[in-house]
């Protein structure tokens, strides 16, 4: 089965729906029309550009180019994690924690999948490497950012509780144990819920894409199961990594809470 080739006219019909939505927003005085239009234009340009990049990448097959692209993706994801925090971490550490957590959640897991599970020749086959890394980064970032955001917010809001627990002789780890558990759960639960709903409530994009592309449904499902396992595990590992890193960073070596390492809420 061949993919139905989309013509510019086909895409224009779908774009017309967005124009109707923008018109409705104007009529209902929602004030979202310019945001809807700008976001749509941005999305179109970004995807066309990444289409060109992927086209070039797939045809060149250079390992160095793939490493470069994957590093750019990783750094961008790390930056995005930092940007989603209401109370951001001061200085370089904010990026460091984002990139490290995304490395654990996505980069290392994608590498494992490429080397041990998919075993393509060459192992960095860009048709697999880039989409896998992209899906892992995109899906685990939300959990990591949610958990990290809750941690920095709770450290600030519950600073008196943390300090009074320290005053009673608890270690820094004991004093924030409840907060730590809460934040790890916050980061992991959306993924667990999404695993539970997949196939019943939602049909994931990758699987749908593969089916549209002509892959037999059972093969597409197997890929989807693989990616869900990788995202689930990677997300959990990334959340745990981010929480421990931030927790350690916000205390000094005498187990004193150092909240001036956080920027004011913004």
Partner 1 sequence: MSSSSPDSPCLLVQSLRFADSGPYSFSLGPGSCTGINGVSGVGKTRLLRALADIDQSTGRVVLNGKDREHYTPPQWRRLVALVPAESRWWHPTVAEHLPVDHDQQQAVELLQGCGFEPDILGWDVSRLSTGEKQRLSLVRALIRTPQILLLDEAGSGLDRDNGELLEGLVSNFLGGKGAAAIWVSHDPEQLERVATLTMTMFKDRLCF
**Least CB distance to partner 1 at residue 156 (A):** 14
Nearest-Å Rg of the Cα atoms of the chain is 22
**Around Cβ 7, how many Cβ atoms within 10 Å?**
9
Looking at 55, 90, 248, 255, which residue binds partner 1 (CB under 8 A)?
A: 255
Q: Is 62 helix (H, G, I), strand (E, B) or coil?
A: coil
CA distances from 144 to 165, 183, 250 (A): 27, 10, 17
By C-alpha distance, which of 68, 134, 76 is closest to 107?
A: 134
Q: Which is nearer to partner 1, 13 or 168 (CB)?
A: 168
| HSE-up of residue 39 (Cα within 13 Å, Cβ side) | 9
Query: What residues contact residue 206 under an 8 Å CB cut-off, 6+ apart?
Result: 131, 135, 220, 223, 224, 227
Q: Which is nearer to partner 1, 168 or 218 (CB)?
A: 168
The reply to whether 256 sits near partner 1 by the rule CB under 8 A is yes
* One character per residue 146-185, x = contact with partner 1 (rule: CB under 8 A): --------------xx-xxxxxxxxx------x-------
* One character per residue 76-115, x = contact with partner 1 (rule: CB under 8 A): ----------------------------------------
The reply to whether 252 sits near partner 1 by the rule CB under 8 A is yes
Beta bridge pairs of residue 257: 251
Size of the site for partner 1 (CB under 8 A): 17
Q: Which is nearer to partner 1, 166 or 228 (CB)?
A: 166
Q: Which is nearer to partner 1, 10 or 252 (CB)?
A: 252
**Contacting range for partner 1; rule: CB under 8 A; set: 16-24, 58-66, 95-103, 255-263:** 255-263
Q: Which is nearer to partner 1, 137 or 262 (CB)?
A: 262
* One character per residue 40-59, x = contact with partner 1 (rule: CB under 8 A): --------------------
**Least CB distance to partner 1 at residue 252 (A):** 7
**Tokens in use for 173?**
């780890």
Q: Which is nearer to partner 1, 110 or 257 (CB)?
A: 257
Query: What residues contact residue 103 under an 8 Å CB cut-off, 6+ apart?
Result: 74
Backbone angles phi, psi at 47, to 5 degrees: -70, -35
DSSP-derived secondary structure letter, 256: -
Q: Which is nearer to partner 1, 102 or 151 (CB)?
A: 151
Measured distance CA(57)–CA(69) in Å, rounded: 9
Residues near partner 1 (CB under 8 A): 160-161, 163-171, 178, 252, 254-257
């Amino acid at each position: 089965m061949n993919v139905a080739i989309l013509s510019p006219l086909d895409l224009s019909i779908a774009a017309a729906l967005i124009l109707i939505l923008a018109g409705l927003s104007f009529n209902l005085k929602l004030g979202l029309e310019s945001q809807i239009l700008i976001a749509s234009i941005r999305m179109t340009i970004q995807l066309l550009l990444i289409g060109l990049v992927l086209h070039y990448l797939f045809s060149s097959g250079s390992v160095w180019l793939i490493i470069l692209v994957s590093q750019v993706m990783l750094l961008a994801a790390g930056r995005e994690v930092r940007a989603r925090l209401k109370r951001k971490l001061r200085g370089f550490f904010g990026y460091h924690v984002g990139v490290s957590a995304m490395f654990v959640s996505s980069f290392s897991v994608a590498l494992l999948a490429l080397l041990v599970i998919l075993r393509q020749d060459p192992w960095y086959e860009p048709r697999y490497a880039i989409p896998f890394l992209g899906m892992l980064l995109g899906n685990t970032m939300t959990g990591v950012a949610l958990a990290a955001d809750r941690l920095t917010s709770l450290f600030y809001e519950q600073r008196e509780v943390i300090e009074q627990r320290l005053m009673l002789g608890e270690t820094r780890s004991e004093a924030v144990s409840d907060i730590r558990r809460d934040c790890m759960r916050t980061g992991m639960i959306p993924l667990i819920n999404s695993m539970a709903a997949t196939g019943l409530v939602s049909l994931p994009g990758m699987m749908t894409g593969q089916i549209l592309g002509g892959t037999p449904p059972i093969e597409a499902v197997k890929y989807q199961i693989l990616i869900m396992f990788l995202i689930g595990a990677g997300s959990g590992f990334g959340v745990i990594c981010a929480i421990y890193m931030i927790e350690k960073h916000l205390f000094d070596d005498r187990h004193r809470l150092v909240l001036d390492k956080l920027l004011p809420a913004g």
